[in-house]
Amino acid sequence: MTAPDSTMAQISRRMLSAKAEQFTESVIREMTRLAMKHHAVNLSQGFPDFAAPEEIKEAARQAIAEDINQYAITWGAKPLRDAVVEKFARAQGVRYDPEREITVCCGSTEAMMSAMMAIINPGDEIVVFEPFYENYGPDAILSGASPRFVKLRPPDWSFDEKELSAAFGPHTKAIILNTPNNPTGKVFTRSELEFIRDLCVRWNTYCITDEIYEHILYDGAQHISMAAIDGMRDHTIVVNGLSKTYSVTGWRVGWVLAPPGPTQPIRKVHDFLTVGAAAPLQHAGSIALYFPQSYYHKLAATYAAKRERILKILTAAGFTVFKPRGAYYVMTDISGFADPDPVQFPAETKDVRFSKYLVEKVGVAVVPGSSFYNDPRDGASQVRFTFCKKEETLAAAEQRLSRLRA
């Protein structure tokens, strides 16, 4: 005899983690699976579909051949720690101690999670700009933080200073910042960072800053790390990694730069979560971090051309586009399109119905806007496209999206 559904639900509720029940699987990763299932052009998950630089691949092959195949030191192989610290000092003029102020992790995803688990206590609040990269929601739940959301509003994704100030208080432990920003393409300006700095200092909170898109900038936009803002070095936890800068998202090599105070617990959390990131890939990363300036210029120029291309494609197809100043996503407004199936799927928001229609019927995968918001209704008229793709891929998307107009 099978238990009735309600009994099953009770059993599973008792047997499984209540924390894990509070969030869904990643919509971004799910959209990639749907793209594969429907043979759609994948403009959902942000990973390059073109080759990684030959030099970094050769360095990885060589590291394996030279038998760098056992555990690295848990907080990171010395050459990589040195290279990260050097590069950050060159770019931002702020020096970290490679022995006491850096932790290498399995991608910036683990870096973010380890940082949050290392500083959060029950009752702590974190301030999160919204729309936000979807991982930050589960990160908050798993670490036990209560998020306070502050809106970034289109078209320029600016925030209301009063609203931000009101989100800070005696329980605030940290603000999460992502600049250049996923999904909006916003690049925070010095004066915005200084405004946030004043709140962090006033309430004695951390700023956890995800800088994974630091080199993907347009129209002369400049990446300023919060760690380089006067008075913020000791309040800042910098998260970054190899993934986007060197087009190796599958390698899972990231890091956290932070003062010795938070670095100590971050290293412990990281050690017991994963022990360490892949040793030969850390070694290859240490070589890539010394690439000449021309590499980064070329990367930004390549993405600038792709940005122009996707903006043209999307505008022609009828989307309202919000032009990004950094990173490799375009948020769009879909108000101009009819709702594909509001009657059959009334529980879903329009962006979800529209994204399903796009992947199944048009053959292009995107990320529904609601997955970047706490309240799905806030993202109901948005979808996100990524453009870190080959010209062939963008051309295929162009052809398929042209059917949409008709």
Site size toward ligand GLN, by CB under 6 A: 7
Nearer to ligand GLN, 45 or 282 (CB): 45
- Output the smallest distance, CB 29 to ligand GLN, in A: 5
41: tokens are 């052009």
Nearer to ligand GLN, 254 or 259 (CB): 254
- Output the smallest distance, CB 243 to ligand GLN, in A: 8
The H or E element spanning position 367 is strand 367-368
Report in angstroms the alpha-carbon separations of 324 from 180, 300, 332.
9, 13, 10
**For the residues of 274-326, what is the DSSP string, one character each?**
HS-S-HHHHHHHHHHTT--HHHHHHHHHHHHHHHHHHHHHHHHHT-EEE--SB
Answer yes or no whether residue 193 interacts with ligand GLN by CB under 6 A: no
Tokens 């929601």 identify what position?
137
With CB atoms as reference, the residue minimizing the distance to ligand GLN is: 46
**Who's near 208: CB < 8 A, 6+ residues apart?**
112, 115, 116, 174, 175, 176, 177, 236, 237, 239
In residues, how long is the chain? 406
Helices and strands (DSSP H and E) totals, the chain: 14, 13
Nearer to ligand GLN, 106 or 228 (CB): 106
Report in angstroms the alpha-carbon separations of 398 from 105, 302, 406.
37, 18, 14
Phi and psi torsions of 296, nearest 5°: -70, -35
- Output the smallest distance, CB 239 to ligand GLN, in A: 12
- Output the smallest distance, CB 181 to ligand GLN, in A: 11
- Output the smallest distance, CB 252 to ligand GLN, in A: 9
- Output the smallest distance, CB 212 to ligand GLN, in A: 7
What span, in angstroms and rounded, lies between the C-alpha atoms of 35 and 364? 7
What span, in angstroms and rounded, lies between the C-alpha atoms of 279 and 63? 9
Answer yes or no whether residue 28 interacts with ligand GLN by CB under 6 A: yes
Q: According to CB under 6 A, which residues from 36 to 55 bind ligand GLN? A: 45-46
165: tokens are 């100030």
Report in angstroms the alpha-carbon separations of 353 from 207, 348, 357, 363.
36, 7, 6, 14
Nearer to ligand GLN, 228 or 365 (CB): 365
- Output the smallest distance, CB 297 to ligand GLN, in A: 23
Nearer to ligand GLN, 131 or 280 (CB): 131
Nearer to ligand GLN, 164 or 277 (CB): 277
Q: According to CB under 6 A, which residues from 107 to 166 bind ligand GLN? A: 109, 133
Sort strands 236-241 and 206-210 into parallel, antiparallel or unpaired.
parallel
Nearer to ligand GLN, 46 or 262 (CB): 46
- Output the smallest distance, CB 95 to ligand GLN, in A: 28
What span, in angstroms and rounded, lies between the C-alpha atoms of 318 and 358? 13
Nearer to ligand GLN, 62 or 393 (CB): 393
Answer yes or no whether residue 182 interacts with ligand GLN by CB under 6 A: yes
In 22-135, where does DSSP find H-type helix? 27-37, 54-65, 78-92, 107-119
Q: According to CB under 6 A, which residues from 57 to 116 bind ligand GLN? A: 109
Q: According to CB under 6 A, which residues from 203 to 242 bind ligand GLN? A: none
Nearer to ligand GLN, 186 or 197 (CB): 186
- Output the smallest distance, CB 259 to ligand GLN, in A: 27
Give residues in contact with ligand GLN (CB under 6 A): 28-29, 45-46, 109, 133, 182
